Structure 1
Amino acid sequence: MMVPARLSRWLSGLTLCAAMALSALPASANTYPLPASGSRLVGENLYHQVEPGGGSLEEIARKYNVGFLALMQANPGVDPWVPRPGSILTIPRQVLLPDEPRKGIVINLAELRLYYYPPGKNEVVIYPIGIGQLDGNTVTPTMKTVVSQKRANPTWTPTANIRARYKAKGIELPAVVPAGPDNPMGHHAIRLAAYGGVYLLHGTNADFGIGMRVSSGCIRLRDNDIKWLFNTLPVGTPVNIINTPIKASLEPDGRHLVEVHQPLSKRLEDDPQTLPIPLNSAMKAFRDSPVTERAVFDKALNIRSGMPIEVGHDMQPTQPHKI
């Protein structure tokens, strides 16, 4: 049976050909040169062959410094605890930059990623993050703010809501948790100015949870990542926290790309794989463009792989514009 050209490109974006080499272990810092003018595409996906006793998806995600849920979305159907030896996993390290000013920190809650644009450098640093749990008191809000304070070896002062939540589970938290291995904030904390300074970027004393909704509202990073940010970010750095599950780009070479993530659930009974994703007017125009193939766009919207997918190609590209 003949496979339509666009569907063939779709399949090639989600599968491996036999001749493709497997990736080597990448550097720990996820730093990429900024793309050419008009482009929003950075990075390349990597591939990992699961070895016998090779560990869970969380361990593999940590090895490549990607988020746990991002790895699951890129590899649907894979057992997250015991992936089958010999199977090939896609490591999602190609992304579309958010359609936001490339300045300071941009955090997209829906994709569980942090983007940092170092001033004076033509590059972007991308880290996976953990965010607030699905609870009215622990949801991480969107905001525009700045870094107000940095503290090494921080103490943790749980809020009244956090202490009450833990007490309901039979855990009595102290008023202040001192710095050290039992401190869930890890070794570095970066305070944000908004909301009275209650939200922070911080490390963790647990290996599990990066790329998931696990915190009490703060932004959680792996220890090496928060340490690098702590040593790099000046106080006053702008921070823009958004919630955008779908991104699109008209690339200078004519490709129409879309990247769809599972939207954040609002209720425990919500299924993020089937929750509707509202499209704004610009995204509707992108979908309805004569170059975009609607069936492929809709497939990407349903599968929600979290990776850039080509949904059309303009053979005579015009000047790129924002989506």
Structure 2
Amino acid sequence: MKRASLLSLCLFGAFSAIQLAHAAEYVLPPDGSRLIGENQTWTVRAEDKNLQAIARHFDTAAMLILEANDTIAPVPRPGTVVTIPSQMLLPDTPREGIVVNLAELRLYYFPPGKNSVQVYPIGIGQQGLETPVSVTRVSQKIPNPTWTPTVGIRARSLANGIELPPVVPAGPHNPLGRFALRLGIGHGEYLIHGTNAPDSVGLRVSSGCMRMSAPDIQALFAQVSAGTRVTIINEPVKYAVEPDGRHYIEVHRPLSQTVEEDTQRVPIQLSPALATFINQSGGDKKLIEKALNRRAGYPVAVASRKSAAVNPESVLSVQNSAEAAAMNAETGQRAITQ
């Protein structure tokens, strides 16, 4: 499956009747553990226009739903049972500030003084205009930002028949939305911001910035202070050995270098440190290889026979109603009040 290909066009569609969900917030796991959340299922309804509409309901990315369900159509038929990948491994980075994993199209925020993590879907830079991997800080908080498109952005838009003004004032038509966080990298051109195109969240369509839905950036903006640490990584593979001996690997399709590249088949290059950790951990090599090929986008148990017994994968069945909120609460997930 190609990211940001013709499939992206299928994801842009009419607005669904599903209401926007708030970000998922999870209680942090104990020391030595990185596993949070539970996968869920959703039975597609006639009014569910596309995967992007379903993704908004769970505040996740449509691309993650595509990974989890492999052969599902961008516009699934009513009655189709869809797996929602809401279980994940925390990135192997310090649990501080904002952590972005580009490969999984997710932003993690660790509120200071709280034993929790908030998880948001994001849109990131397109091919040739990638969001840079870095460790930086929030340098400025900007409410009601104006947008000054760069010379490159104006030239690319003009090539597509769109003439952009030198400055776009704050308001409902501003591509930056109502809130922006400027990062201390480059010349200040990289932002975490809202958008006036909600279906673009969860796709590779920006010029390098990270975009969020309006409710999500509002919630994050209200909590983050200038100086907050921001860690941006690009790790399609996460691996963990839990304190009880369970082994998990979470594999995402790597970010493509070209629009034509098939990210389901392109080889995944493990970092030397991760490859060593996997080899020394005692997981089942055949199960690991299977997970690396499948690329499901959620944690898969890969314990060897010598390791602790692993319970079958837990999948919650969401009944397309208010029961979803109650079930989320039971698994350590709660909505942010705005």
Shorter-chain TM-score tier: 0.7 to 0.9
Gap regions ≥5 residues in structure 1:
1-24, 318-323
Per the TM alignment, residue 287 of structure 1 is displaced from its structure 2 partner at its CA by 3.8
- Tell me, in whole angstroms, the C-alpha distance in 2 between the residues paired with 1:223 and 1:314: 47
Q: 1:87 aligns with which of 69, 80, 93?
A: 80
Where does residue 66 of structure 2 map in the other structure?
Answer: 72
Q: Secondary structure at the match of 2:132?
A: coil
**C-alpha offsets along residues 62-96 of structure 1, whole Å, 9 cap, x if unaligned?**
01100110011111111112x12212111111110
CA distance in 2, matches of 1:78, 1:269: 20
Instruction: Quote the residue 1:209 is aligned against.
Output: 200
How many angstroms does 1:222 deviate by? 0.6
Partner residue, 1:21: none
Q: TM-score, normalised by structure 1?
A: 0.86
C-alpha contact 2:283 2:307 (8 A) present in aligned 1: no
Aligned 8 A contact 2:194 2:213 in 1: yes
Instruction: Tell me if the contact between 1:189 and 1:201 (Cα under 8 Å) persists in the aligned partners.
Output: yes
Match of 1:53 in 2: 47
Runs of 4+ in structure 1 over 6 Å off: none
**C-alpha distance 26-186 of structure 1, shift in aligned 2 (>3 A):** closer
Q: How many residues are matched? A: 290
RCO higher in 1 or 2 (8 Å CA, sep ≥ 6)? 2
Counterparts of 2:176 and 2:251, CA distance in 1:
30
Name which of structure 1's ranges 273-282 and 38-47 shifts more when overlaid on structure 2: 273-282
**Correspondent of 2:244 among 233, 253, 266:** 253
Unaligned runs of 5+ in 2: 1-18, 309-338
Residues 1:111 and 2:87 are matched in the alignment: no
Q: Does 1:146 find its partner at 2:137?
A: yes
**Percent identity, aligned pairs only?**
52
Question: How far 1:290 moved relative to its partner?
Answer: 7.2
Cα distance, 1:26–1:159 mapped onto 2, change above 3 Å? closer
Is the 1:255–1:313 contact (alpha carbons within 8 Å) kept by the matching residues of 2? no
Q: Would the alpha carbon gap of residues 155 and 304 (structure 1) be closer, same or farther in structure 2, given more than 3 Å must change?
A: same
- Paired with 2:22 and 2:270, the residues of 1 have a C-alpha distance of 35
Question: Hey, what's the Cα distance between the residues in 1 that align with 2:30 and 2:91?
Answer: 15
Give the aligned partner of residue 33 of structure 2: 39
**Matching residue within 144, 158, 161 for 1:167:** 158
Residues 264-279 of structure 1 mapped to structure 2, 5 A cutoff: 264-279=255-270
1:129–1:26: structure 2 CA closer, same or farther, 3 Å change rule?
A: closer
What does residue 56 of structure 2 align with? 62
Q: Which moved more, 1:56-65 or 1:261-270?
A: 261-270
Q: Given the alignment of the two structures, is residue 307 of structure 1 paired with residue 301 of structure 2, yes or no?
A: no
Q: CA shift at 1:175, angstroms?
A: 0.5
